[in-house]
Amino acid sequence: MKRVPQLLFVCVYFILFACNDKKQEKVEKETVSTTADVIEVTDERQDFLGITNKDKLSAASKRALKWPKDLGNDWFFDYQVQDLKGDLAYEEGVVRRDPSAMIKENGKYYVWYTKSVGPTDGFAGDIEKDKVFPWDRCDIWYATSEDGWTWKEEGPAVLRGAKGEYDDRSVFTVEIMKHEDMYYLCYQTVKSPYNVRVKNQVGLAWSNSPDGPWEKSKEPILSPADNGVWKGEEQNRFAVEKKGDFDSHKVHDPCILPYKGKFYLYYKGEQMGEQVTFGGRQIRHGVAIADNPKGPYVKSPYNPISNSGHEICVWPYNGGIASLITTDGPEKNTVQWSPDGINFDIKAVVKGAPHAIGLNRSADSEEGPVDILKWGLTHQYRSYDYQYIRRFSTSQKKYHTAKGEKAK
């Protein structure tokens, strides 16, 4: 009598298994049918993408069929990095990092950068006296070069503010813009004390000469969003009750471009309670727009304008704005382009890119989509304490060939 329940269980199991198998078969048929109705698979696309069966499309094949039909390699590049000569060569005990774009004036290239001295102490000690990051306790310096290889350090351009001002702790990560014979430097600022919950801002300085003197804005031109809520009083930047906007904690890496009669301030946002997701750190870009180089800058209601990225690297191209997205997020290591400076689409996925790129703004950015990346400046970590500025160059990769094989 005990075998009856066991036999009954076995019969029920096989009936359910058969029903589920039929349901799964029905789902697969419906998926294929729906895909065939929505996605057109021409013979040409099938051959180009290497799809085995038109009526058996994997999720990968469906995504590939949605790629642009003119998929090419005009936006794809590879790169290498070389040492510089002169004052920008590595110097023990000195931090030089985050080079700005270069402009060419008076027959010379000009670059601005973050400079500090001494090792990084971190947050474990006395933050009023210690140096918590390599970019802490910095000023903005500049250098010139006739050939882009050998550089002469000219001295400081923008110094930290007096105690109590919004930039009294550090000024760093600078970018240059020239407009109507005026020169503008935008940069990050931090006010003491530099703790892990500090909300940095963006400052601006201007001059009628690349050699200065520079007049600084009395107030920041950009600040983090004010809609996140910290949890508790402990200095823990991951403890939040509400994360807020993508830039609720920090606004970094500012870069101003004149565009369509206005001024577009691109920047990196860091969110309170920033998490690590399937793409790495939650880092996104935003833009603020002004009618005048000095502002006021109003954040776009469409922010954030990227799902990924780190340092800002943007340039005008073909009536729109191109952007190199690196380091963080699910779309990292991509080159993107927007027809309106706000809505960006992926144009290429690259192996990687130099850090903190300083573009050569004297190059013709309209010659080709990535021609402005032919050469420029970058920084490299010699150690966590010390970084230095180097030169990068890129080449467009058209074909993949074996040794001795002729390219197409």
pLDDT tens digits, 210-242 = 999 999 999 999 999 999 999 999 999 999 999
Give the pLDDT of residue 380.
97
The parts of the chain modelled with pLDDT lower than 50 are: 1-5, 7-19, 21-37
Instruction: Report yes or no: 80 and 143 within 8 Å, Cβ to Cβ.
Output: no
Query: How is residue 81 written in tokens?
Result: 């990095």
pLDDT in the model for residue 24: 47
Cα(62)–Cα(304) distance, integer angstroms: 27
**Could you tell me the end-to-end alpha-carbon distance of the chain, in angstroms, rounded to an integer?**
78
Q: Using CA of residue 26, residue 28, residue 30, residue 36, what is the dihedral sign? A: negative
Give just the sign of the alpha carbon dihedral 269, 270, 272, 276. positive
Amino acid 36: pLDDT = 41
Provide the CA 379 distance to its chain's centre, in angstroms.
15
CA distance linking residue 175 with residue 279, whole number of Å:
27
Q: CATH code for 78-395?
A: 2.115.10.20
- Range(s) for CATH 2.115.10.20 in the chain? 78-395
By the 8 A CB rule, do 214 and 157 touch? yes
Whether the Cβ atoms of residue 333 and residue 354 lie closer than 8 Å to each other? no
The gap from C-alpha 98 to its chain's centroid, in whole angstroms, comes to: 13
Q: Which of 94, 128, 131, 87 is nearest to 114 (CA)?
A: 94
| Average pLDDT of the residues of the chain | 91
Q: How far apart are CA 288 and CA 268, in angstroms?
A: 11
Note the pLDDT of residue 38.
66
- pLDDT given at position 400: 82
80-112 b/e (C-beta count within 10 Å ≥ 16 → b):
eeeebeebbeeeeeebbbbbbbbbbeeebbbbb
By CB atoms closer than 10 A (0-12, 13-18, 19+), residue 364 is exposed
